[in-house]
Amino acid sequence: MDWEKIVEQIPTAIEKVRKDYVLNNMIIKDDIFGILEKHCTVVYYPIEDEINCGFHTKRFVKDKLEDFVYINTAKSVAEQVFVAAHELGHVWGVAAQVWELAGEQGILESQIEERIINRFAAELLMPAKEFRKTFWVHMEKLGLDSNKLRLVDMIRVMVLQMNDYMVPYESVRRRAIETKIITQKIGDVLLKNEETILPLVNAFSKDQNTMLDRVTAKKTIPGLRDLLETVEKSGELSIYTINRIKRDFDIDNINGTDDIVEISIEGGKHEEN
């Protein structure tokens, strides 16, 4: 397996999915959730003691194989964003596309597939050109000299980039190596000193108006309320089951009104041109 050749194909795969799925914004950030929801069923639910940030699976629904993605909302928003991009890669079958583009003939093993998908997620969320540009913009604004850059200042810039792309520190560290902003050797030093660095990351994050560390603890499946209302009217599920789902996802009953609301639009009924 030629890893460098595989990596060279990832931007091509990204350009294809950007075109196929009309992804115009280069910086996606938390828009990734909306994109993911368009292409599969997403379950948002917090599990405090779970190490995993999320996963992708396929299930048969009415004789059709459907994609499902779970996002652990007990994790920070930054972690949720990256795992959403990662699982989107699985939904789109990016690893197989890249493997074929690279001309690889062997079996695509799960370990290699995960490695490809991780790189895909990094390049989708942090495009190389934009990532390098924002790095040097922050360096200039902070008046930093790349030839005399202190570790603490490097971390300060990396936190700014975490905020730029709404991703975790480790994702930025890896991307800095991949885009050749820092060498593998420097990247390894950062990893080795993580115990000292992470408190700095947390401190600098708190200095910004950012959602990076926020834990949403969200409990939902987009469209679940409407689906439950439909199922409840049809009688396909027992009231006990419906109430249990509502309880598990914190869905309150809504007692609305049947009053009619009249809408008046100036110029009369809207007509398409």
| Predicted confidence (pLDDT) per residue in 144-199, tens digit | 998 888 999 999 999 999 999 999 999 999 999 999 999 999 999 999 999 999 99
Cα distance between residue 105 and residue 94, in whole Å: 16
Q: How far is CA 142 from the centre of its chain?
A: 29
Shortest CA distance to 67 belongs to which of 46, 24, 36? 36
Shortest CA distance to 174 belongs to which of 131, 142, 141? 131
| Predicted confidence (pLDDT) per residue in 24-70, tens digit | 778 889 999 999 999 999 999 999 988 999 999 999 888 889 999 99
Are the beta carbons of 65 and 91 closer than 8 angstroms?
no
Give residue for tokens 């930054």: 78
In what side-by-side order are the strands of the sheet with 41-45? 41-45, 64-72, 54-61
Provide the H-helix boundaries in the chain: 3-20, 32-39, 77-92, 94-101, 110-125, 128-141, 151-165, 169-178, 184-192, 194-206, 224-234, 239-248
The per-residue pLDDT for 257 is 66
Cα distance between residue 227 and residue 250, in whole Å: 15
Neighbours of 183 (CB within 10 A): 11
How does strand 54-61 pair with strand 64-72?
Answer: antiparallel
Q: Read off the pLDDT band of 256 (50, 70, 90).
A: low
The per-residue pLDDT for 73 is 94
Neighbours of 127 (CB within 10 A): 20
Cα distance between residue 257 and residue 107, in whole Å: 59
State the chain's mean pLDDT as an integer: 88
Give residue for tokens 């390049």: 123
Answer yes or no: is pLDDT of 134 > 90: yes
Cα distance between residue 272 and residue 65, in whole Å: 37
* Residue 79: exposure state from Cβ atoms within 10 A (0-12, 13-18, ≥19): buried
Task: State the Cα angle at 118 between 116 and 122, rounded to 5°.
Answer: 115
The per-residue pLDDT for 271 is 55
The per-residue pLDDT for 272 is 53
Cα separation of the two ends of the chain: 55
Q: pTM for the complete prediction?
A: 0.87
Give residue for tokens 């996606």: 28
| Predicted confidence (pLDDT) per residue in 61-120, tens digit | 888 899 999 999 999 999 999 999 999 999 999 999 899 888 888 888 989 999 999 999
Q: Read off the pLDDT band of 259 (50, 70, 90).
A: confident
